[in-house]
Chains A and B, each alone.
Chain A
Amino acid sequence: MTTKPGKEASRFDPEPMPRRDFLGLAALGSAAAAVIFSLFGMLRLPKAAVLTSPSKKFSVTLPDTLEEGEAFIPEGRSVAVFKDAEGVFAISTICTHLGCVVASRPEGFECPCHGSRFAGDGTVTKGPAPKALPWLKVTADGNRLQIDENEEVPGGTKV
């Protein structure tokens, strides 16, 4: 340790950095870098590459008795299927607010969780839902309809 002339060395004086300290800092730095790097690696794990969700595609046949404006809810699905003069269309019944399942009413849809209301075509009329209920892709194969809950189509698309 070097000191200025005329001044006594004190243990409170800042010390110049000896080589040993420099090496120590370098070691600490690389250890920290290794930890951070491995943390990133560990954080990569919880985000799965393949999500374990059940298939969102299914087929249904509409009952002949289905009236215009009446919703048909395929079993186990959060989808409402309608039929009118122009064709068949499917609207998702998962609320765009926070994911509750909306109920189909003659006037449209009603969400039990925070009171969002939707018109018959899915547009929001009341409450906190930020956007309209999405229309889902329907492909008709004779009487059988194939519906994909993951694929949205522009509102008003009927087949």
Chain B
Amino acid sequence: MEKAESSALKEIWGNLLSSPRRIYETAFRSGAPKTDRTRSSFVFGNVFLHLHSVRTHIWSLKWSTTMGLGIISTAAFLITLVTGILLMFYYKPYPDVAYQSMKDIHFVVPTGRFIRNIHRWAANVMVIAVILHMARTFFTASYRKPREFNWLIGWGLLVTTLALSFTGYLLPWDQLAYWAITIGANIAQSPREITDALGITQYFDIGGLQRTILLGSDEVGAEALIRFYLLHVMILPLILVMLMAVHFWRIRKDGGIARPDDADEIVGNEAKTSYPVFTEQPEKTYHLAAIVKGRTPAVGSGPENTLPSMPHLFYAELGVLMLTTFICLALALISDAPLKEIANPLVPENPAKAPWYFLGLQEIVSFSAFTGGIGIPALVWIGLGLIPFLDREKTGTGRWLGGPGGWNLFIWSLLIGFGASVGIEAFAIYFGWLREWFPDVPQLAITVINPGTVLTAIYAAYSIYVVRKHGSTRAGAVALFTCFLCGFVVLTVVGTYFRGPNWEFYWTPSDWPGH
């Protein structure tokens, strides 16, 4: 009797001692990823990792294929997520109080200023990485079949990223924020430029409606602040995360990163030397329990030239994540996020500048609010979304500028994109525009003819010429995309560095009056 009791107690003691090991084993059933088999189950047995396939093609692992830009964007998002949640501990979204809480975060809260700096820098890194990621996908023609839909998801992610960044811009409630949002909200209202000219604003005031819904009031005040806050910390992040989930999932379902047809010959037979996991090429994959018709991209492709994702892919991803974190931390140490005086609705910042990635548009906005703020962005956005459905060609998929025209066309488009945007800016700065020549010109004329639309027309004409010359839609798309990217950079640089008080042109900020 006594013996049985003590042995039961012993057993409990033994179980207790071995419980850490057991907990580990129940969590990671397959054991350490040491063989190809356990490496595979390491991936598909893990809810977070199984978005990846078990093996990754060597082409996708090459740095030059993706440059890690998608992972950089994701990493930057994760950093903003963590730092953003930390900032929410102290931030209070109410006018004036918001500014005080920013001051607290800046001067009182331990590490507050550092966390805010990281948040701001990670947001900027994210915007840049997302734009570059899109450029990479475009220049390697990776949006083609079967990846058209994922390009559209990415297209939505780009807008969501910009919206997140812009809504965050108002929250500090300082002068910078207040006037940028005033301008932003009035851009939302700028369809009035058209409805006014047509005389139908009374009946159909879409501009006014957009502004009222955005601000919840006639002016930028408490209602606007809470709306922007809600968008920034709740609605937009949710949309972003949902789109991201679909984006990642589709990468896998679309057969991984795009690669050229002859990728296998190029990377050689490296993987043949590694242990073959399965040798049969699957004739069907059990897509949705085999009841769905059609073939998935995995059909007909064997394991050749793939490597186990663990460790080859995951270590690369971890490396990029660490690098992104390092860059954000370093930038946050070097440069403080700005915090100007408290918002004053009676005295605008001079110059009042939007976040940097909108300054290119602000250049055009300084001629016509509608064209720069809504017309051209909408045109570019729709054009971007249509790319995969207009270019149905085959050559060059998965290769940097692999299609017709190649690098030559790219260089030419860069030159034309640069020349035209600098030329038209210089012209407008030097000679002025319609209003200066004919003061009575109706606004509609300027809405239609301004440096922004002229530039768009030049780019469009050039790309039509390229389409005819090469007999290829893809060539025209390369020309147009490159030109717009170039114009975007030129206008952004002008708006950021060469515009001073009253949006006047200055060579350097030291020439600004009052400096």
Contact = CB atoms under 8 A, between A and B. Distances in A.
Interface residues of B, number: 47
A145 to B, nearest CB: 19
Interface stretch (B3-11, B18-26, B125-133, B366-374): B366-374
A125 B435 CA distance: 7
Interface string B483-511: 00000000000000000011110000000
Interface string B409-421: 0000000000000
Contact of B221 (A47, A52, A99): A52
Interface residues of A, number: 29
Interface in A26-81: 46-48, 51-53, 76-78
Interface in B188-221: 190, 193, 196, 209, 212-213, 216-219, 221
Interface in B432-449: 432, 435-436, 439, 443, 446-447
Contacts of A114: 362, 365-366, 503
Contact of A100 (B193, B196, B348, B446): B348
B217 A130 contact: no
Contacts of B219: 53
A144 interface: no
A127 B212 contact: no
Contact of A47 (B212, B439, B501, B502): B212
A48 B218 CA distance: 11
B217 A53 contact: yes
B17 interface: no
A52 B217 contact: yes
Interface string B455-478: 000000000000000000000000
Contacts of A52: 216-217, 221-223
Contacts of A136: none
B186 interface: yes
B182 A98 contact: yes
Contacts of B182: 98-100
Given A52-B222, A101-B347, A128 B216 contact: no
A77 B345 CA distance: 9
B218 A51 contact: yes
B435 A112 contact: no
A128 B502 contact: no
Contact of B502 (A78, A97, A111, A124): A111
Given A52-B217, A98-B365, A125 B439 contact: yes
B179 interface: yes
B183 interface: yes
B395 interface: no
Nearest to B441: A124
Contacts of A128: 365-369, 435, 446
B15 interface: no
Which residue, A97, A98, A125, A126, has most C-beta atoms of chain B within 10 A? A98
Contacts of A101: 345-348
B311 interface: no
B216 A78 contact: no
27 contacts: A47-B209, A48-B212, A48-B223, A51-B212, A51-B218, A52-B216, A53-B218, A53-B219, A53-B221, A76-B346, A78-B345, A78-B346, A98-B190, A112-B348, A112-B351, A112-B352, A112-B501, A114-B366, A115-B504, A125-B435, A126-B435, A126-B436, A126-B439, A127-B435, A130-B369, A130-B443, A131-B196
3 shortest A-B CB distances, which residue pairs?
A112-B350, A114-B366, A130-B443
